[in-house]
Structure 1
Amino acid sequence: MMRAQLMVMAIVLVMTAICGFATGALLEVTDAPAPSTTTQKWQRDSNFRGSVSSTSMPRVDYKDLMSNLHDRVGVLVTLDEDQRNRLEAIDKKLDLLRESNADRMESIKAQQLDFKLRLDSFEHIQRLSRETLDEIKGETDHISGPRRVRESKHKLNNRKKMNALSRPIRDVSQDGSTGGSYNPSVIDSNRLDSLATLLTSTRLGVRSAQLEVTNLSWKIRAQNKLVQELALLIRNSHNPTGSSHSLPTPDSCEYYELGHDGILKIKLTPTSDSFYVSCEKDWTVILSRTSDDVSFERGWQDYKEGFGNVAGDFFIGLIKLNALTSSALHELRIEMEDYTGVKANATYSLFAIGGESELFPLSLLGKFNASMTDTAGDALSYHAGAKFSTLDNDNDNCLDCNCAMRHKGAGWYINCATSNSFGQHFPERFAEAGETGIFWDTFRGRDYSVKKIRWMIRAIKASDVL
């Protein structure tokens, strides 16, 4: 549109210039004074004598004029193109702003959804804690009697102790009234010491009662399992030819054939799906590395579902591991062996991971047991609280690196690692594997890739933690 207007303006300028020059030439001829009669005669006479030069018209350089006009039109066209380019750049910037605003809105929505999910999980945990406390109170009432009776007993005992404490004070006051010296500061300090002793003994009594209740609940649960199994065995023995009643599926390796090793099918809850695990006595194996037959350089989906052969090298999977560690308190034992046959282990009092919405973090890691023989040292506490990272899902809190790619595996990395149980297996050149092998920093260093490593968990009683 603008280019057409510029062309019209250029044509108008050319026509105006041509008309102007033509008019100027006519005016010069019209304004010239009339020649006198004498001159005309002389000219007629001179025509016979020779040629006389006539008055010449003023010349106009049309080439220069057209060149200037062409240059001006070219400048206008260039300005038009520059303006069009600027408008296109502005349109692109506006489009980028719209896209970035849309991405920011999507990110804000995702953060709001994540916050809502976390809030729901916190409320669920609070509800479960409240129900657990109610169960403990109910068991305590069942064992030690109703709450009012226990409170009355405690009040009566405390009243007796206070009366026993007040007697020496009255004796001291009577002695002072008969002539002895009365020192109220000494009496107050003695009373405070007695009260402190009473509070300490009360606290110890409450703690011991809690331990007893917890132990009783575990014993009752174990006895209920045994009773159910015995009832089914008795029923099957009375009806050998009838419909068979299979034993209930166990929920851990604890009661598996009195602790023999092997593969076991477990079911954590009546409504959950059953799956196979590898048992080492009452320990559940969650990770086993003995060769390079199975590659552990995998993506998020594989680590989420689990992979490998339960009878060989495998990883149980983050979903199953979260379900196991959420069903009960567990301890962790890690066993490893180098290529010279030296074995070592690392044991932690507690172990649990979070759910998928939190990116399966190492949410609970207890105290390292340094008193055990053949200890490998503590190379896992550094990773406590970290989210799980894989090659295609980087959650390692490292701004300029990807720890999973750096260590050729996966794990709970925090700005990289002090141990790498999911790294590459090196059957050769294991002492020069670098940080890509299966290393345990406090055992053989980061450049040494161990020959075997195995992670195992076992359910523990709450009394062992308190």
Structure 2
Amino acid sequence: MPLLHPQPPKSGSDSNFRGSVSSTSMPRVDYKDLMSNLHDRVGVLVTLDEDQRNRLEAIDKKLDLLRESNADRMESIKAQQLDFKLRLDSFEHIQRLSRETLDEIKGETDHISGPRRVRESKHKLNNRKKMNALSRPIRDVSQDGSTGGSYNPSVIDSNRLDSLATLLTSTRLGVRSAQLEVTNLSWKIRAQNKLVQELALLIRNSHNPTGSSHSLPTPDSCEYYELGHDGILKIKLTPTSDSFYVSCEKDWTVILSRTSDDVSFERGWQDYKEGFGNVAGDFFIGLIKLNALTSSALHELRIEMEDYTGVKANATYSLFAIGGESELFPLSLLGKFNASMTDTAGDALSYHAGAKFSTLDNDNDNCLDCNCAMRHKGAGWYINCATSNSFGQHFPERFAEAGETGIFWDTFRGRDYSVKKVRWMIRAIKASDVL
């Protein structure tokens, strides 16, 4: 029987074997990339830490300034309270003198005219005599030419009582005025103390960035503008909504600012929906944020403008609100125009009340043969088409001949004049303040 010799492996199986060995080899580790990524992360952490320290230093400076200002105000309030105490002592002294004078008059009256019943009888008798005298055709005249009558101490006493009553009334009004001043001062002290407590809590939470259940909530309006930096404040309307930055002018929230031609306002629907520009310069807050703001509370509207000669004017409306995107962001609420304001620009916005918002690419102006957004080179609440245009082009030159494509207010400088500056601001109001 022949011997069987093992056959050499085939080339295919040999290559597969080598391939399987090479496929299970250890992967290569690039330590250089890992170190580079680690270095970048450390750099980011250092930058964040530096920014956090800068913010804490700024808050510390604000707190120091607030404490100094609060100390000065407290000293002023103490001085006013001391002055009030002195005035109150003076009023009490006047009241004591008045009571003594009144008692003295009563004693003199009793001494001269007798008891009260006797005086009442004499008073009735004198009234009868006067009525009889008035019914005579000719009054009796004494020998010296004077009308009849004699010295009547009750008349003198009546004059003194009238003077005393006037003095007591003025004293009571003075006391009431002083009490109102003390109430106002107490309210200011409570407001200052509340602000100091909020700032102290903010500093403590800044040192604990992980947050806790005792963290200071984000402000919901420009009412807390003191916590902002250079008028820029981060607000949050509801606990579940996103926060965003706004520009504050005291307790007013700026929603539109135009001062130059650096930012183009000839934009489409999406830009106006989200907002654009820089809140520290020229910008529009955005229709979504504006709808959220005006839906969270009742707001009033103030529009300020200035021409190229430095003349300023304003227009104020008692109520302002816009609808949501499903309704095409209409100007759903515009209150009464305040014509009694000084430097008024006139009412050029009431014409637009109820209009839907229109842009270059979303025409909702109810004009069948035109596009108002294209006609005015901007956007706005157009109704075939406009009596004002705050979203038009900014004309640093030839502003008096800009026409309807410029920033115009019909009742201020007419439709051909493009103003230099315009700013829209809103402020939350109480329902009880609306007439």
TM-score by length of 1: 0.50
Root mean square deviation of aligned Cα: 29.3
Q: What whole-Å deviation, never above 9, does each CA across 1:333-359 have from its counterpart, x for those lacking one?
A: 000000000000000000000000000
Deviates more, 1:43-52 or 1:210-219: 43-52
Answer yes or no: is the 8 Å Cα contact 1:214–1:463 preserved in 2.
Answer: no
Preserved contact between residue 398 and residue 414 of structure 1 (Cα < 8 Å) = yes
Q: Kindly tell me: are residues 136 and 460 of structure 1, through their superposed partners in 2, closer, same or farther at Cα, counting changes over 3 Å? A: farther
Question: Counterparts of 1:318-333 in structure 2 under 5 Å?
Answer: 318-333=287-302
Structure 1 pair 139–308 and aligned structure 2 pair: CA distance change class (3 A): farther
Flag the 1:171–1:433 CA change in 2: closer, same or farther, 3 A.
Answer: farther
Moved more, 297-306 or 176-185: 176-185
Q: 1:361-419, CA deviations, whole angstroms, 9 ceiling, x for partnerless residues? A: 00000000000100000000000000000011000011111100111100000010000
Is the 1:299–1:391 Cα contact (8 Å) retained in structure 2? yes
Asked whether the equivalents of residues 303 and 422 of structure 2 are also in contact (C-alpha less than 8 Å), the reply is: yes
Higher helix share: 1
Structure 1 gaps of 5+ residues are 1-32
Distance 1:259 1:45 in 2: 75
> Cα offset for 1:221?
15
Q: Aligned-pair distance for 1:248?
A: 1.1
Q: Deviations over 1:56-98 (max 9, x none)?
A: 9999999999999999999999999999999999999999999
Contact 2:359/2:378, CA 8 A, preserved across alignment? yes
What is the distance in 1 between the residues matched to 2:354 and 2:77? 25
1:278 Cα deviation from its structure 2 partner: 0.3
Counterparts in 2 of 1:88 and 1:250: CA distance versus 1, 3 Å: closer
**Number of residue pairs the alignment of both structures matches:** 434
Taking a change above 3 Å as real, the CA distance of residues 52 and 116 of structure 1, as seen in their structure-2 partners, is closer
SS in 2 for 1:174: coil
Structure 1 residue 231, shift from structure 2 partner: 9.5
**Aligned-residue offset at 1:48:** 122
Q: Call closer, same or farther: CA 1:276–1:399 in 2, change over 3 Å.
A: same
**CA 1:275–1:446 in 2, change beyond 3 Å: closer, same or farther?**
same
1:167–1:331 Cα change, 3 Å: farther
CA distance, structure 2, for counterparts of residue 297 and residue 185 of structure 1: 85
* Contact 2:394 2:407 survives alignment (8 Å): yes
Cα offset for 1:257?
Answer: 1.2
Query: For residues 433 and 341 of structure 2, what CA distance do their matches in structure 1 show?
Result: 17
Superposition pairs for residues 364-443 of structure 1, below 5 Å?
364-443=333-412
Q: CA deviation at 1:256?
A: 2.1
Decide which moves more: 263-272 or 94-103.
94-103
1:173 to 1:184, Cα distance in 2 relative to 1, 3 A: farther
Answer with 241-250 or 202-211: which moved more.
202-211
Moved more, 180-189 or 455-464: 180-189
Offset of 1:202 from its aligned partner?
A: 34
Using the alignment, how far apart are the partners of 2:287 and 2:143 within structure 1?
Answer: 74
| SS of 1:340 mapped into structure 2 | coil
Cα–Cα, structure 1 residues 124 and 46, in superposed 2: closer, same or farther, change >3 Å? closer
Please identify, of 76-85 and 375-384, the stretch whose mean Cα deviation from structure 2 is larger: 76-85
Tell me which of 241, 245, 256 is aligned to 2:214: 245
Does the CA-based 8 Å contact 1:344-1:374 persist in structure 2?
yes
Q: Which moved more, 1:404-413 or 1:197-206?
A: 197-206
Aligned to 2:140: 171
Query: Which aligned pairs between 1:28-427 and structure 2 lie closer than 5 A?
Result: 229=198, 232=201, 246-257=215-226, 262-427=231-396
Residues 41/194 of structure 1: CA separation in 2 closer, same or farther (3 Å cut): closer
Distance 1:249 1:446, change over 3 A: same
Q: 1-side partners of 2:408 and 2:330: how far apart?
A: 21
Deviation at residue 247 of structure 1 after TM alignment: 2.1
For residues 255 and 45 of structure 1, the distance between their equivalents in structure 2, rounded to whole angstroms, comes to 79
**Structure of greater Rg:** 1
Q: What is the rounded CA distance, in whole Å, between the counterparts of 1:348 and 1:311 in structure 2?
A: 25
Question: Contact 1:287 / 1:314 at 8 angstroms: preserved in 2?
Answer: yes
Are the equivalent residues in 1 in contact too, given 2:288–2:324 (CA < 8 A)? yes
SS of residue paired to 1:206: helix
Give the whole-Å Cα distance in 2 for the aligned partners of 1:287 and 1:96: 31
Indicate how the Cα distance of structure 1 residues 125 and 297 shifts in structure 2: closer, same or farther if over 3 A, else same. Answer: farther
Between 259-268 and 191-200, report the one with greater CA deviation: 191-200
202-211 or 253-262, larger mean C-alpha shift: 202-211
* Deviates most, 428-437 or 203-212: 203-212
Gaps of 5+ in 2: none
Q: Is the 8 A contact 1:266 1:276 kept in 2?
A: yes
CA contact (8 A) 1:140 1:213 kept: no
CA distance in 2 between partners of 1:439 and 1:238 (Å): 49
Cα 1:187–1:120 change in 2 (3 A) is closer
CA contact (8 A) 2:88 2:175 kept: no
TM (norm. structure 2) is: 0.53
Shift of 1:282: 0.4
How far has the Cα of 1:255 moved from its partner?
1.9
User: Could you tell me how far apart the structure 1 residues matched to 2:16 and 2:236 are?
Assistant: 136
Moved more, 175-184 or 387-396: 175-184
Moved more, 69-78 or 223-232: 69-78
Shift of the 149–69 alpha-carbon distance from structure 1 to 2, 3 Å rule, reads closer
Contact 2:357 2:381 in 1 (8 A): yes
Alpha-carbon distance between aligned partners in 2 of 1:177 and 1:319, rounded to the nearest angstrom: 88
| 1:235/1:107 CA distance change after superposition, 3 Å | closer
How far did residue 268 of structure 1 move? 0.3
Percent of pairs with identical residues: 97
In 1, the alpha carbon distance for the partners of 2:227 and 2:38 equals 106
Contact 1:331 1:457 in 2 (8 A): yes
Distance 1:137 1:61, change over 3 A: closer
| Cα 1:266/1:72, change in 2 over 3 Å | closer
Which sits farther off after the overlay, 134-143 or 296-305?
Answer: 134-143
